Structure 1
Amino acid sequence: MLRTLLIFGFTLAVSTGRAQDISQVVYRSGDCGYACFRIPAIVRAADGTLLAFAEARRDGTADKGDIDLVLRRSADGGRTWGELVVVWDDADNTCGNPAPVVLHDTGRIVLLATWNRGEDHERDIERGRTADTRRVFVLASDDCGRTWSEPREITSEVKRAGWTWYATGPCHAIVKSRAPHKGRILVPANHKFVAPDGSVASHSHLIYSDDRGETWRLGAVSQPGGNESSVAELSDGSVMLNMRHYDRQDSLRLCAVSRDGGHTWSETWEETQLVEPRCQGSLLNYAPAGERSSRTLLFSNPRSLRRENLSLGVSRDDGRTWSRFVTIWPGRAAYSDLVRLADGSIGVLYENGDPGGKEELYKRITFGTVSPEELFD
């Protein structure tokens, strides 16, 4: 059963109950000597194994410091999870912002991520006041996430001069299944730079590869205001980018559509149907079995004006209207990512916690599943 809330002029449809069939804690603060785990991303490998990525933060909840990129694997649809695997550890530096994608023709998993010196604060990086900057890397696995290649830097291919801060995802990336540019890998990303008036400008953008991740190029750049973003292919082969809003205080999402494979945006708008507390969200095309795209989109984020009420929204018309919202976790919650499971269920990997400060909010990363009947009946 759904109820509606009216908050500061926004009408929110909220489920009155928990929607999860499976709910398992994948990462918990204090595990394996890490103070905090944040920034989830998830994909389903070619053999059906689920790979749950996260940033393992050694010293606390802060975005700086000794941060390793880690994963845990599940071979039973998320009911149980294997040991923690460190994918990338660079001493005391920051390795994070996972954006993984599975290449369905080969099974290879391509993983985009970013790096910076652990001692550098984001506010100093974005103003160019550090000795180094944010750099972009790619890794790959050919054995469903058991082992990984060494990180290979691609910063010069995808980051313009003058850009300071840079982040991939964080969430899954996609491979286009339709023309134009069928087979293209598209990765959502964002960047910042110092504007002529001295302010810090924030934009979202795409990066892409047409050769299975060997070489990379910069795609379309959003209008001002974009930040962390998620990408999905629409039923006609167009591409939608759904973005965290950076400039406004009234908690709306930004959306843009590209009809040329991610080179340019044909339209951009503020999406009043998707409410948020300025937080990351995840977009997924929910296609029938055996298909890669459909008119049905799913979107997860904290559907509130604070980081709480992690919800899953449903659109049946390529993201033009959002007809249903189901609560995944009613309490404190933040970042999330979505994956379609083999049985048609939707997997949700999300940060959640208890009332209180950051230490309580980012207490764990949980995996839950939602049945198609819960969303579509």
Structure 2
Amino acid sequence: MLSSTLLFVLGSLAVFYPIDAKWRFAPYVEREDVLWRQHDPGDVNEYRIPIIGPTADGHLVAISEARKLGGGDSGNKFLAMLRSDDGVQWSSATKFIFSDLSDVTDGMNLGEMLTDMETGSMFIIYSHCAHACNVSTTYIIRSDDNGLSWKNAVNVTNVICNVTKTFDPGPGLGLQLKHHPRHKGRLIFCGHGGVGSEIVACIYSNDHGETWKGGMALPGIPFHSDEGRGLFEPNELQMIELKDGRVLFTIRNEKDYNDAGPIFASSDDGCETISMMSIRFPQGLPDPVCAAGMLYHEEHDGLLLHSNAYSTRQRINMTVSWSYDEGQTWNNSDHLQVWPGPSAYSCLTAIPGKPNYVGLLYENGIYFRYERITYALINLQPTWEED
């Protein structure tokens, strides 16, 4: 029989936390910092592909492509990095942790970043010559000191080539599984490639990045066809893990199949396979064919956040949207306009030690969408209320 004390405690919980109460959010941008501008630092022509994520020791690391001479996807590049101790201040100077050779015509392309929270190791995956070569080369670099130094690149092209000959990872964050019943701790990188129509593909590691295996593939339909608009052609992506262990993707809808918006799909076996039956097209997330960001915030009852250029026609209007049901529905009133003007790629991150905040790193400008890369500190402003 339950004691009177225990009954009192349970009764008190029922009073203050009713079963139909839920977290609700009213996010706002608390502060913004421009991390990179064209030509500064390093006399770089243009900074592209914003990626941001936590280290195992509680810092944030931001990386980007520093395009040396021009703004195109091919050409010479540095890999630029900044660190933040608290997710608020960015006081350190930009560090260039990788540089193409000066005479390459189709250099490095980011890419994804991933932290193994079990070992503390960090990984960055990038491709080389994904536009001018029949077979691109894919590399992974690794840091065992929270991004302070990086080891020589490891070539993992042979793992990719069993699915696609060219490959561009991400762009965004890789994933370490925390909830999957069979694959807890698995590291996953995904990207897109192919000739003609695109194909989304993944690789994974079960030994903390020592070895990598080829995983799922989601091809365009019809495969190896590039005949115009309206085809099913998955492209750049971001992935998160839901609390039941499924991996959910938001995928760039390159040919506007079905509508102008992202493709959602999921894998339930740790990205070894993916079912066409999992594909859906969420309503309430307009998109102008551009890479998006996504974050699953477990500390707030499974809040799912999505960032993109919130427009059907132009890369403008950087917006963060949120869903209370793991992305099944997106209410048009549940979004935050971060920047109304030109904007493009973005990446969302949780901030260690700050559960009521998230960070957004995104491309934007006043006249041109790639003028700068800006970090927005977003206060979720959660409230606990009854339906």
Q: Give your verdict on TM over 0.5.
A: yes
Map of 2:10 onto structure 1? none
Aligned residue among 313, 316, 319 for 1:308: 316
In the alignment, structure 1 residue 347 sits paired with structure 2 residue 356: no
- Structure 1 distance, partners of 2:194, 2:339, is 32
* Residues 1:373 and 2:381 are matched in the alignment: yes
SS of residue paired to 2:158: helix
Is 1:148 paired with 2:147?
A: no
Aligned partners of 2:323 and 2:174: how far apart in 1? Answer: 20
Structure 1 position 205, deviation (Å):
2.1
One-letter code aligned to 1:311: T
Cα pair 1:19 1:374 within 8 Å, conserved: no
Does structure 1 residue 87 correspond to structure 2 residue 83? no
Aligned to 2:207, which of 206, 211, 220?
211
In the aligned structure 1, how far is the partner of 2:93 from the partner of 2:39? 15
Which of residues 265, 270, 273 in structure 1 aligns to 2:274?
Answer: 265
Listed as ranges, the gaps of 5+ residues in structure 1 are: 1-16, 194-199
2:61 is aligned, of 41, 51, 60, to: 51
Alignment partners' CA distance in 2, 1:260 and 1:47: 29
Q: For residues 22 and 239 of structure 1, what CA distance do their matches in structure 2 show?
A: 31
Instruction: State the shift of 1:97 in Å.
Output: 1.0
SS at 1:288's partner residue?
Answer: helix
Partners of 2:335 and 2:118 lie apart in 1 by 34
Alignment-derived partner of residue 306 in structure 2: 299
The equivalent residue for 1:14 is none
How many angstroms does 1:374 deviate by?
6.8
- Aligned twin of 1:288: 299
SS at match of 2:92: coil
Q: CA deviation at 1:375?
A: 9.6
Deviation, 1:96, is 2.6
| Between 32-41 and 64-73, the greater mean CA deviation after superposition | 64-73
Aligned-partner Cα distance in 2 for 1:169–1:212:
19
Structure 2 gap ranges (5+) = 1-25, 221-232
1:347 maps to a residue whose letter is G
Matched with 1:13 is none
Whether contact under 8 Å (2:27, 2:380) holds in the other structure is no
Q: By how many angstroms is 1:229 displaced? A: 0.5
Counterpart of 2:124? 111
The answer to whether the Cα contact below 8 Å between 1:281 and 1:335 also exists between their aligned partners in 2 is yes
Where in structure 2 are the equivalents of 1:42-81 lying within 5 Å? 42-81=52-91
Q: Check conservation: 1:54, 1:98, Cα contact below 8 A.
A: no
Supply the AA of the counterpart residue of 1:91. Answer: L
Judging changes above 3 Å, is the alpha-carbon distance between structure 1 residues 264 and 273 closer, same or farther for their aligned structure 2 residues?
A: farther
What secondary structure, in the 3-state scheme, does the structure 1 residue paired with 2:298 have?
coil
Alignment-mate amino acid for residue 269 of structure 2: D
CA distance in structure 2 between the aligned counterparts of 1:259 and 1:299, rounded to whole angstroms? 21
| Contact 1:18/1:327, CA 8 A, preserved across alignment | no
Matched residue type, 2:218: S
Which residue of 1 is the match for residue 9 of structure 2?
none
Distance 1:375 1:247, change over 3 A: farther
Partner of 2:30 in structure 1?
21
Identity %: 28
Cα displacement (A) at 1:218: 1.8
How much does 1:363 deviate? 0.6
Aligned length: 335
Between Structure 1 and Structure 2, whose CA radius of gyration is higher?
2
**CA distance in 2 between partners of 1:226 and 1:334 (Å):** 18
Give TM-score scaled by structure 1 length: 0.84
Amino acid at match of 2:267: S
Quote how far apart the aligned CAs of 1:295 are. 2.7
Q: Assess if the C-alpha contact under 8 Å between 1:41 and 1:337 holds in 2.
A: yes
> Which residue matches 1:40?
50
Structure 1 counterpart of 2:5? none
Q: Distance in 2 between matches of 1:303 and 1:318?
A: 19
Deviations 1:191-238 (A, max 9, x none): 122xxxxxx111222221111111112221124111000111112111
Q: Which residue identity does 2:154 align to in structure 1?
A: R
The C-alpha deviation readout for 1:12-59, integer Å capped at 9, x for no partner, is: xxxxx9931120000110111101000011111122221110000011
Name the structure 2 match of 1:182. Answer: 184
Moved over 4 A (4+): 374-377
User: CA 1:280/1:376 → structure 2, altered by over 3 Å: closer, same or farther?
Assistant: farther
Counterpart Cα distance in 1 of 2:160 and 2:165:
12
